[in-house]
Structure 1
Amino acid sequence: MNVRRYGRVFREFFRACLVEEMEYRSEFFGNVISSFFGIGMALLTIQIFFYQTDRLGGWTYGEVLVLLGVFNTLRGCIDFALRPNMPRLLEHVRRGTLDYVLTKPVDSMFYVSFRHLVFWRLIDVVLGFGVIGYGLYVERYVPSVADVLVFLVVMTASFLLIYSLWMMLMTTSFWVVRIDDLSFIFDSFFETARFPGSMYRGAVRMVITYILPAVLITNTPALALLGKWRAWAALAALVVSLLFLWIARRFWRFALRFYTGAGG
């Protein structure tokens, strides 16, 4: 895949979606207010937890705030670029309109993943970084340059892992087109990453750590910013995310063989 070419394609998607969204400015600003309300409720929930204890799964109040900020930042990225597109794949397969995507001079997996963007969700990214900063202030910790670099690496790995897992889930729509909301399954999985992995016990903890690594998605970047990273763990996160991306790509190409199109 030509990176520069697809960078230009993404810029065109970006421009077209921005123009479209600015046509409904009142709705845009209403959604922004909704984002502020959502992060406020999340902060209140954490505050309630810490009325009863001084640690949550071994994490202090400031550390959990950093974790919440990471979660909100990733969710903003998801809602900006992935959520507007993934459910549409199910409709493309169901209605046979994927034919039009496959005939375009652009990679089909790239097109169905990033064609539609929702800009107001970027406020969640900004609010997420704000909560991260507040958490670091509460924790009285200033990240080093190495901390920030590792954080950027593992955040990239986390986004790639989220994308790969969701893409694989939605690709199953080639066989199970009658399932109306595969995204609900992904949302349930992602919500477990809102809290420290050490909160969970038994089989649940094993699943979200080793099988569907939700813990890696948010806990690893948060620990990196708190200076509690290990080089091998950051490298492992990147390797795992690239492995899942490769699997998602292979699965997509395999699934296309079973697509029968509008006339099938």
Structure 2
Amino acid sequence: MRLKRYLRLLGVQLKASGLLALQYRADFLAEGLSSVAWTFTALAPLFVVFDNRPSLEGWSFHESLLVVGWFTLLQGVLEGAISPSLTGVVEHIRKGTLDFVLLKPADAQFLVSTQRFLPWRAVNVLSGIGLFIYAFVSLGRWPSFPGLLASLVLLGTSVLLLYSLWILVVSAAFFVVKVDNLTYLFTSIFDAARWPSSVFRGALAMVFTFIIPLALMTTFPALAMLGRLPWTSLVGAVAGSVVFAWVARRVWLLSIRHYTSASS
């Protein structure tokens, strides 16, 4: 019954965001076209790198397209469903108006996480799927059913990781005045996810696997589609995403206790 209630609330929030976007149809179309253009821009570094070499750290050009496809898809999820809602929390905290959310008879984290969506970012998701299709057609084969199933599981873990990391960033707003630099830093770091994780060495490899697990978000799903991901890595990715989500939830609850409202 509780799950049904929250699904209904999610439907209401999605509908409201869709209606708001359709009020400005020219902007809706322009943003959609810019999302398509951004996808081609994201491919430019790949063409440069593979111009004079057949492979990069064991990845061919078309295999690397799968990584870019996952990066593009997750970028659409981040900018269309995660970032718009949670960046609004920062303004609520600054103005002391988060009371209006905390007093509602629903979980505050759910409400702030679903308050706004940008529907045109779904174009990024479609662009990512298009890259998957083009890559496998060029490779002359399709992913196996177990590989496709594993990649879908990793899609869920990747979205959960992105959301949890963003919650951790936003929670910092309860303790510091501005977190804009942190959000920009996170967005910039996420750009590194367009490359296969094997190109990173030393400390960067450690950071992008365990601290900011970019490898789990884009490289692991691509490996799963190619049938090269060990099942132990799949289990580790699922376990890691659950741990990140638990930590983010605890940090959020702790942060709320330090919130000073406008009426305080």
TM-score, L = length of structure 1: 0.96
* 1:169 to 1:179, Cα distance in 2 relative to 1, 3 A: closer
Q: Corresponding residue for 2:248?
A: 248
Q: Corresponding residue for 1:33?
A: 33
Q: Corresponding residue for 2:128?
A: 128
Report how many aligned residue pairs link the two structures: 264
Q: CA deviation at 1:229?
A: 1.9
> Would the aligned equivalents of 1:86 and 1:167 in 2 still touch at CA under 8 Å?
yes
Distance 1:98 1:155 in 2: 31
- Letter of the 1:23 partner, please give it: Q
Q: 1:1-34: CA deviations, max 9, x gaps?
A: 9322111110000111111110111111111111
1:184-203 alignment, distance < 5 Å: 184-203=184-203
Q: CA deviation at 1:230?
A: 2.0
Q: Corresponding residue for 1:116?
A: 116
- Letter of the 1:47 partner, please give it: F
> Would the aligned equivalents of 2:169 and 2:179 in 1 still touch at CA under 8 Å?
no
Distance 1:114 1:222 in 2: 28
Q: CA deviation at 1:101?
A: 0.5
Q: Corresponding residue for 2:50?
A: 50
Does residue 76 in structure 1 map to residue 69 in structure 2? no
> Would the aligned equivalents of 1:197 and 1:219 in 2 still touch at CA under 8 Å?
yes
Higher deviation after alignment, 64-73 or 130-139: 130-139
Higher deviation after alignment, 51-60 or 246-255: 51-60
Distance 1:248 1:2 in 2: 22
> Would the aligned equivalents of 2:193 and 2:215 in 1 still touch at CA under 8 Å?
yes
Q: Corresponding residue for 1:231?
A: 231
Q: Secondary structure at the match of 1:85?
A: helix
> Would the aligned equivalents of 2:172 and 2:179 in 1 still touch at CA under 8 Å?
no
Distance 2:78 2:179 in 1: 21
Q: Corresponding residue for 2:99?
A: 99
Q: CA deviation at 1:215?
A: 1.1
Distance 1:128 1:191 in 2: 15
Q: CA deviation at 1:141?
A: 2.5
Q: 1:66-102: CA deviations, max 9, x gaps?
A: 1100110111111111111121111111100111000
Q: Secondary structure at the match of 1:51?
A: coil
Q: CA deviation at 1:36?
A: 1.5
> Would the aligned equivalents of 1:63 and 1:135 in 2 still touch at CA under 8 Å?
yes
1:215-230 alignment, distance < 5 Å: 215-230=215-230
Q: 1:223-245: CA deviations, max 9, x gaps?
A: 11111122221121111101111
> Would the aligned equivalents of 1:157 and 1:238 in 2 still touch at CA under 8 Å?
yes
Q: Secondary structure at the match of 1:28?
A: helix
Q: Corresponding residue for 1:17?
A: 17
Q: Corresponding residue for 2:139?
A: 139
- Letter of the 2:166 partner, please give it: W
Distance 1:86 1:58 in 2: 38
Q: Secondary structure at the match of 1:106?
A: coil
Q: CA deviation at 1:203?
A: 1.1
- Structure 2 unmatched runs, 5+: none
Distance 2:235 2:122 in 1: 28
* 1:143 to 1:179, Cα distance in 2 relative to 1, 3 A: closer
Distance 2:84 2:68 in 1: 23
Q: Corresponding residue for 1:66?
A: 66
Taking every aligned residue pair, what percent have the same amino acid on both sides? 37
1:162-201 alignment, distance < 5 Å: 162-201=162-201
Distance 2:112 2:177 in 1: 16
Q: Corresponding residue for 1:159?
A: 159
Q: CA deviation at 1:39?
A: 1.3
> Would the aligned equivalents of 2:151 and 2:221 in 1 still touch at CA under 8 Å?
yes
> Would the aligned equivalents of 1:216 and 1:237 in 2 still touch at CA under 8 Å?
yes
CA RMSD across the alignment: 1.3
Question: Which stretches of structure 1, 4 residues or more, deviate above 6 A after TM superposition?
Answer: none
Q: CA deviation at 1:127?
A: 0.6
TM-score, L = length of structure 2: 0.96
Distance 2:222 2:72 in 1: 12
